[in-house]
Structures are given as structure tokens and as C-alpha cells.
Amino acid sequence: MSEQAKTKISVQDLHLYYGQFHALKGITMEIPEHEITALIGPSGCGKSTFLKTLNRMNDLEPNVRIEGSVRLDGADIYQDMDAIELRKRVGMVFQQPNPFPKSIFENVVYGPRINGIRNKAELEEICERSLRQAAIWDELKDRLGKSALGLSGGQQQRLCIARTLAVEPDVILMDEPTSALDPISTGKIEELAMQLKKDYTIVIVTHNMQQATRVSDRTAFFLLGDLVEYGDTQELFSNPKDERTERYITGRFG
Amino acid sequence: MQARIRSARRTDEVMTVVFYAVGGFFLVLILILAGYIIINGLRSYYPGIFGTTSSGIGNQLFNTVYLVFWSLLISVPIGVLAGIYMAEYAKPNKLTKFLRISIESLSSLPSIVVGLFGYLVFILMTGAKWNLMAGALAVSILSLPSITTTTEDAMKSLPKSYKAGSMALGATHWTTIIKVLLPACFPRIITGVILAAGRGFGEAAALLYTAGQSTVINWNNWNLTSKTCPLNPFRPGETLALHIWVMRTEGSLNPNSEKIANFSAAVLVIIVLLFSLAARMITKHIGRKAVGEKA
Ligand SMILES: Nc1ncnc2c1ncn2[C@@H]1O[C@H](COP(=O)(O)OP(=O)(O)OP(=O)(O)O)[C@@H](O)[C@H]1O
Ligand SMILES: [Mg+2]
């Protein structure tokens, strides 16, 4: 990690409650621009919950209460920003590939379309550019009119990444994007993530320690709603400061 | 262990036979019924039965289609919107529960009750004569609950990930509904509409005192405001189902009444069949365009 990296997202003392349940207990964290930040931790520790606070997908859940602040380029996303506008800047890729039951083309241009782009040529150009960026153009270029549901899981996931890229966000959140995929597809997605960090800021949740070390610049270890340790990935894995982190990454826990 | 697997397999075989038997039974039942009605009906054919005089059913045939058209025009948008509301907006509270009970009760109302309600509200209270629009409204009341429930169920059965995916791309809730959720449940909604239309085609009791038991149409009169213009929905408009009933009761003075009733029944069955087929073909076509051809 370069020392002078600019902060893209700044989280200050963030608490989240699902009704009575205290799911995030005061998270403070700076996410640098053009880097990959990995979130690790045992199941149920709040990784997905935290990720969803970054693009306000928690707004869709009933009975969620949030305290503290999340700033994107300095602007508070809960105070100063509309959730719809925010989600155009902070895209999300889910654990299970979730293409819409539409053609491949319609999936990719969904975002641009709802943003008002009607011109067919322009949409086609966006489609090609996004699919190329997601390294899946060659595989799909001859079947753009076919249903996205007919693709393999790995192809669907890269299609979903292309769909997110088509909106041209600044930040891409990925919630265990490879947990439903085989090793080859996983490798492709990891390679892709590393390509994309030139232009995007990426936050990725993973259960796979190797994946975190392979792709991420920084790693955050969560436990029971707390951020236990956060730092340079190499550093965190080779020389964890907290005993709980050490137990977790050496597999003696969770 | 072996014994358990063997017995499970035996049960599986037996149940498969049972399901085939039940399915086959209904298939045969429908074939016999429809076959009897259609054959018996077509044998009653005589030249001029499609005419628009008192010995023809041309007007009634037109009224049936026209009435179903209007009732769908009314009930489909309201039903679909209500279904969307129930699935996407209604909070899980007492009011919603009450609404759901109301919809369920509405769906089990006897059609004669709806007919008399329609007579009271659309005819007596407005001071109007029997008219096709009153009939269409009464039929709409009957088909609204099923369209609402079908839409709600279809929306609720969609994977949650569709909505999440769309919202995460910066779509609003409404855009998500219109562009992703609704198209995804289109085939099921069409099924609901077919059932509603079938109900409209076959309805008699609800139309008795609303659309009326008479029809006078002048096929050369295209002045919409005129009482005899075919397209004026505010004229009496007896439908085929009602005509069958009339031909078997008061109308039996008509020398051809039995033949007319039989033939009308056959025509009605054929219309419903054709309508279902057409609707399914359209769904398939639209589905293929929307979903994209299977890879
Ligand atoms: N909508 C919700 N309502 C109530 N509790 C929830 C909700 N979503 C998550 N939780 C709870 O919050 C805690 C954190 O959940 P979260 O999904 O963030 O965990 P996670 O770290 O992503 O786990 P996993 O690795 O299994 O995906 C869990 O205890 C979970 O049961
Ligand atoms: Mg999770």
C-alpha cells in the first residue's frame, strides 16, 4: 500500500442495529482509493452488514437503525446524499450471481437505460466496453440476445460485474463474489478485481484467507460486530497485532 | 436400510401411478364434456345462426367479446396495481391483514350477489337502463380478486436477488417493479388474466340484471352516442352465456331455442379455448423477447 493513498470512504464510529440486535459496534475505518480492501471474519460477524452500509442497501431492510457516519469523498452518505445517487457511485456484486431474467445485452445496459440513455448505438458501445472490462466479451459477444440465465455461474458473475461497471461507479463492493464458483472462475474474478483497481476502489468480503492475501492491499478482520484489526494485508497476515486475529487466520477459531 | 429404500421406491411407483390416474381422469372428463358440448352444439348448426336476427347469435357473440374486453380493461390495471401494492408496499400490519381477508371474501362472493349489487349500484342508483358497461363492471368485481392475488403471489415468489440487484444499480423501487419484477412475473399474470377472462365469458348470473337480457344493434350505425351503435358500451348487451339461459327459459317460445342454446354453448367453449391459446402464444412470444432466447 502506498502511504499517500487518498481516502475514498471514511467510516466513523458506525453502529448498526437490527431492531434490538447490535450488529455493528462502532466501526472506524478509512478505505483508500484504488486499492482492494478485504473484509474477513467468521460467519455472522457483520461483514455483509458493514458492506451494505456503504451503499445503503440496508435501507431496504425494515427496523434497521444506523448511528455514526460514512463519508464518500468527504460527503456524508446518510446525510448529504440520496440513496439512489449513492448506489450509482457505489456498485455492488452479490454472493450469488443474480442476473435479471433478460437477455445478456439487456442485463448489461440496465443501469445506463434507467439513467436515461436511449440511443441504441451508445448502449451497444457501453455493453461492449463493460463486457470487455469484465473480461467476458469474447465469450459472450455472439450471444448477446440470449438469456443471461443460460450462462454458467462463473459467466453470470462476470456478467453481473459488467452490469455494475456499466453504471461507471467509483467504488465496487463485492460480497463473497466467488463463493458459489469453481476455482477457475474464481481465478478469473480475482484477476479481474486486480485489473479493476486501477480505475476503481474495491471492497471485497471473503471467507477465503488465500483469496484475501492474493488480491487485497488491506485487510479488515471483523469479530462479533467489532473491527478487531485493520491494516496492510501482508502485515496483518504475517504479523497480526491482535491475538484474536492470529487465532482466526491460523484457523484455530470460528 | 435396503428394505427402507425398497419400500420408498415402491411408494414412489405407486404414487406415480396414482398421479397419472388422477391426471388422466380429469383429462378424460374434460374431453368428454367439451367434446359433448362441441359436437352436440355444432350439430345444431343451421344457416343464419351467426346472423343478427332473433334466430342468430351474432349480436350476443359480439357482446360477449366486447364485454370481456371492457371488464379486462377495468380489472387488469386495478388488479395488477393492487397486487403490486400488496406484494411490495403493504406493511405487515392489521390494515393489510384486513385487506387480505377482504380480497379473499370478495373472491368467494356468489356471482348472483355481485349481479344484484351491480343492479343496485350501476342501474338503480344511476338511474340507467341495462347496459353492457354495468355488466363489465360487475364481471370486473368478480375477477379483481383473482388478478390481485395472482399478481401478488407471482411478485412474492420472485427471488429477492432481482430486487437487490436492481436497487444496487441505482434504480428506484418503482423502476425496479416496472422494469424487472413485473416483466419477470408476466407469464403468471397472463394466466390470471386468462382465468379472469374465462370467468367473464361464462358469467351469467352477474349479468342478468346489469348487462340485461336483450340487445338491439344496428350494424350500420357507428355513431357512438347512439343507443344502437355496436361499440356504445352504454346499451343493453346480452351475452352468449345469458342467451343460453334465456333460450332455455323465457326465450323457449323461439322455435329454434334449443338449437341456439346448444350452438351457443359450443361457440362459448371454443372462444374460451381460442382465447387461452392465443394468450399463451402471446405470452411465449413476449417472454422470448423479454427474457432473451435460451442460450
Ligand atoms: N435483516 C436482518 N435482520 C436481523 N438480523 C440480521 C439481519 N441481517 C443480518 N442479521 C444478523 O446480523 C449479524 C451479521 O450478519 P451478516 O450477514 O452481516 O454476517 P456476515 O459476516 O456477512 O456472515 P456470513 O459470512 O455468514 O455472510 C448476524 O448475527 C445476523 O444474524
Ligand atoms: Mg455475508
- Domain presence at residue A67: yes
Residue A236 has pLDDT above 90, yes or no: yes
- Span B109-117, average pLDDT: 94
CA-nearest of B118, B80, B86, B123 to B102 is B86
Predicted local distance difference test score (pLDDT) of residue A87: 96
* All structural domains of chain B with their residue ranges: 1-43, 50-290
Question: A226-247: buried (b, 16+ CB within 10 Å) or exposed (e) per residue?
Answer: bbbbbbebeebbeebeeebbbe
Is residue A47 lining ligand 1, measured as CB closer than 6 Å?
yes
Distance from CA of A30 to the nearest CA of B (A): 22
pLDDT digits (tens, 9 = 90+) for B150-161: 999 999 999 999
CATH T-level fold of B50-290: MetI-like fold (1.10.3720)
- State the ipTM, two decimals: 0.91
Q: Taking all residues of chain B, what is their mean pLDDT, rounded to a whole number? A: 92
Quick check: is A79 in a domain?
yes
- Given a cut of 80, is residue B281 above it in pLDDT? yes
Residue B290's pLDDT is 63
Average pLDDT of chain A to the nearest whole number:
93
Residue A185 has pLDDT above 50, yes or no: yes
For residue B49, what is the DSSP state?
T
**CB B178, CB B106: distance < 8 Å:** no
Average pLDDT over every residue of B166-172: 96
Angle at A222 between CA A221 and CA A226, to 5 degrees: 130
Above 80 in pLDDT, residue B27? yes
Domain count, chain A: 1
What mean pLDDT do residues A128-150 have?
A: 93
Residue A165 domain-assigned? no
What pLDDT score does A4 carry? Answer: 62
CATH number of the domain bearing residue A73: 3.40.50.300
* Nearest Cα to Cα of residue B111 among B169, B150, B151, B71: B71
A31 CB near ligand 1 (under 6 Å):
no
Q: Is the pLDDT of residue A254 over 70?
A: no
Cβ contact (<8 Å) for B162 and A149? no
pLDDT of residue B287: 72
pLDDT bin (cut points 50, 70, 90) of residue B293 is low
Cα torsion angle, A102, A107, A112, A115, sign = positive
* Structural domain range at position A220: 7-97+170-249
pLDDT at position B73 is 97
Kindly state the helix (H) or strand (E) to which residue A187 belongs, with its residue range: helix A183-196
Amino acid at A127: C
> Mean pLDDT throughout B98-114?
93
The average pLDDT across A97-105 equals 95
The average pLDDT across B249-264 equals 88
How many other C-beta atoms can be found within 10 angstroms of the C-beta atom of residue B243? 26
Residue B295: pLDDT above 50? no
Q: Please compute the mean of the pLDDT values over residues B226-232 and round it to a whole number.
A: 91
The Cα–Cα gap between B120 and B123 comes to 6
By percentage, how much of chain B surpasses pLDDT 70?
A: 97
The string of DSSP codes covering B225-271 is TSTT-TT-TTS----HHHHHHHHHTGGGGSTTHHHHHHHHHHHHHHH
Residue A108 lies in a domain: no
In-domain check, residue A163 = no
Q: In what order do the strands lie in the sheet with A201-205?
A: A90-93, A171-175, A201-205, A36-40, A218-223, A226-232
Residues B39, B45: Cα–Cα separation, whole Å: 10
pLDDT confidence tier of residue B253, bands split at 50, 70 and 90? confident
Contact by Cβ (8 Å): A60, A87:
no
Q: Count of H helices and E strands in chain B?
A: 11, 0
Q: How many helices, marked H, and strands, marked E, lie in chain A?
A: 11, 10
Q: What is the pLDDT of residue A3?
A: 54
What confidence category does residue A31 fall into, taking pLDDT thresholds of 50, 70 and 90? very high
Nearest 5°: phi and psi at A226?
-105, 150
Contact A174, A135 (CB under 8 A): no
Name the residue of chain A whose CA is nearest to B172's CA.
Answer: A84
- Whole-angstrom CA distances from B275 to A105, B68, B69, B284 are 33, 11, 12, 14
Pairing of β A201-205 and β A36-40: parallel
Question: CB-based burial of residue A1 (10 Å sphere; 0-12 exposed, 13-18 middle, 19+ buried)?
Answer: middle
pLDDT of residue B79: 96
Contact A94 B161 (CB under 8 A): yes
pTM for the model: 0.87
| Contact status, residue B151 vs residue B83, Cβ threshold 8 Å | yes
Q: Could you tell me the pLDDT band of residue A165, with boundaries at 50, 70 and 90? A: very high
Q: How far apart are CA B138 and CA B151, in angstroms?
A: 21
Q: What pLDDT shows up at residue A180?
A: 83
pLDDT at B166 over 70: yes
Cβ(A24) – ligand 1 distance below 6 Å: no
Q: Do B292 and A110 touch (CB under 8 A)?
A: no
Chain B: which residues have CB within 8 Å of chain A?
A: 159, 161-172, 175, 179-180, 183-184, 290-295
| Count of other CB atoms within 10 angstroms of residue A194 | 15
Quick count: other Cβ atoms within 10 Å of Cβ B202?
A: 18
A61 lines ligand 1 (CB under 6 A): yes
A96 contacts on B by Cβ (under 8 Å): 161
CB atoms within 10 A of CB B169: 28
Q: For residue range B56-78, what is the model confidence (pLDDT) as tens digits?
A: 999 999 999 999 999 999 999 99
Average pLDDT over residues B187-213: 90
- Is residue A135 included in any domain, yes or no? no
CA-nearest residue for atom 4, ligand 1, is: A18
Closest to A177 measured CA to CA, from A165, A188, A167: A188
pLDDT tops 80 at residue A22:
yes
Domain membership of residue A117 (yes or no) is no
| Grid cell listed for B61 | 357473440
Q: How much is the pLDDT for A1?
A: 45
Q: How is residue A95 written as a grid cell?
A: 454472493
User: What is the per-residue pLDDT for B291?
Assistant: 65
Residue A154 forms part of a structural domain? no
Q: Percent of chain A scored above 90 by pLDDT?
A: 87
B164–A91 CB contact, under 8 Å: no
Per-residue confidence (pLDDT) for residue B292, from 0 to 100: 61
